[in-house]
């Protein structure tokens, strides 16, 4: 018991080192979770961008097709063919 009382500073030092270690582990785990979440979001954004790229490439290829142009004109601009009748609902 006398030895422990004489060397109290060793016990205090070990306790402080342990507290710093536990705090560092907690911070590392929190940072790791944040980084994993960022990776997931970036992966989803990459997948969406690749899908959009494929869609745009298909549209560019189909842009030379007259039927495609007619469909785009009808959908986006509301143009109708000569023999068709346009109906507008209010």
Longest dimension (CA), the chain: 108
Q: Is 17 exposed, middle or buried (0-12, 13-18, 19+ CB in 10 A)?
A: exposed
H or E element in which residue 53 lies: helix 8-62
Degrees to nearest 5, angle at CA 19 with 33 and 14:
145
Domain ranges of the chain: 2-77
Tokens in use for 32?
Answer: 């790791």
pLDDT in tens, the chain (90 residues): 677 778 888 889 999 999 999 999 999 999 999 999 999 999 999 999 999 999 888 877 776 777 777 777 777 777 777 777 777 777
């Amino acid at each position: 018991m006398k030895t422990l009382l004489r060397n109290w500073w060793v016990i205090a030092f070990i306790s402080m080192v342990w507290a710093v270690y536990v705090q560092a582990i907690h911070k590392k785990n929190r940072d790791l979770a944040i980084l994993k979440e960022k990776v997931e979001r970036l992966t989803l954004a990459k997948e969406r961008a690749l899908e959009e790229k494929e869609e745009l490439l298909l549209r560019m290829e189909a842009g030379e097709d007259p039927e495609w142009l007619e469909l785009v004109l009808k959908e986006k601009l509301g143009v109708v063919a000569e023999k068709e009748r346009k109906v507008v609902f209010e």
